Amino acid sequence: MYLHESVYISSQNTFPDMDLETLNPSFENKLTVKEPSYPGIPSSILRRMGKAVRYGVGCALPLLELKKDLHGIIIGTGHGGMEDCIKFLNQIIEYEEGTLTPTNFVQSTPNAIASQLGMMSQNTGHNSTHVHSGLAFENAMLEAVMLLKEFPTHSYLLGGVEEISTYQYNIERLGGWHKKEKCSNINLYDSNTEGSLAGEGAAMFLVNSIKENAVAKVTEPLFFETADLIIVKARLKDFIKRYSLPPGTMLLTGENGDIRFNNFYQALEEELQGLPIVRFKHFTGEYSSVTSAALWLCMQILTNQNVPAHMIKTGKIEKVDTILIYNCHKGIQHSFTMVTKS
């Protein structure tokens, strides 16, 4: 699968202007999206959109303008639409199941982003949304790979979208997945405590099977669920055996400052000794479809041959031709993705 164009709306300076060297600080243990203006969305529609739908659609529209004849839209999200879902449920109680606002209902499901994009672009092709917690985007990627094997001349919009809803943030915090003490993303990896920083964002990609003019090539992702470190190391060895690591390879890890899962990342670093190690979750925060942000970052690194200094953990980076992404979500969902320069 080849990546041709991408857009990423995040808490950092990624859209419309890009500055990866500057690291915007977190606020109250959250990295919330810096929303741009949305000239492509009519104001009458924009004011009715929920947060995730708003920046998910705003992220995709520039790509839909570049490629109007897409054959489908594939989105991965863990909790997209949760904010509107809670608003709708609260209305049921407040109005005693009387006259409810339909907008919150329409946009309360995870597939609201893909469906809204389909309607706004009048795209009647394949339209799907994957909701698999920390493997949502990986499943969306796998579907795109499978579709392109079946229809090699097709092109698709692939994306990952997540929001920080008040309800979901509180649930995740009570579950121990977010930092309970005050913590900044600037010193995230020195915290030595449980939990991480909440993040949100939307990353969209134009993908097809055509190498010409492509920025990068993505392998079929390997993802699985286990809490056993031995199994993770075995899967890594199988993955490397299938896709060898040439000179110029870099490891991009989803280390997130949660001390409980450092053993997974440390084990991989030991297995891949000699590779430069780069981290990104102080830049994005932690969320279910964060691998989409990592994929976007890979495209920028492969294109510009520059890795921001604040992302480098170890090693000297001179030339990057291949990037191995490893992400671990809540210590049980793991994924490996190989991205190579086209």
Q: 26: which 2 tokens?
A: 């977190």
pLDDT bin (cut points 50, 70, 90) of residue 48 is confident
Q: Residue 252: phi, psi to the nearest 5? A: -110, 110
Supply the pTM of this predicted model.
Answer: 0.93
Q: Residue 70: phi, psi to the nearest 5? A: -65, 150
How high is the pLDDT of residue 84?
66
CATH code, residues 218-341: 3.40.47.10
H-helix segments, 177-330: 229-242, 262-271, 281-284, 291-304
Q: How many CB atoms lie within 10 A of CB 220?
A: 15
User: 188 or 86: which carries more pLDDT confidence?
Assistant: 188
How high is the pLDDT of residue 105?
62
Please check whether the two domains, 2-216 and 218-341, share a CATH topology.
yes
Q: 49: which 2 tokens?
A: 């959109």
Domain ranges of the chain: 2-216, 218-341
What's the chain's length in residues?
A: 342
pLDDT bin (cut points 50, 70, 90) of residue 93 is confident
pLDDT bin (cut points 50, 70, 90) of residue 103 is low
Superfamily of domain 2-216: Thiolase/Chalcone synthase (3.40.47.10)
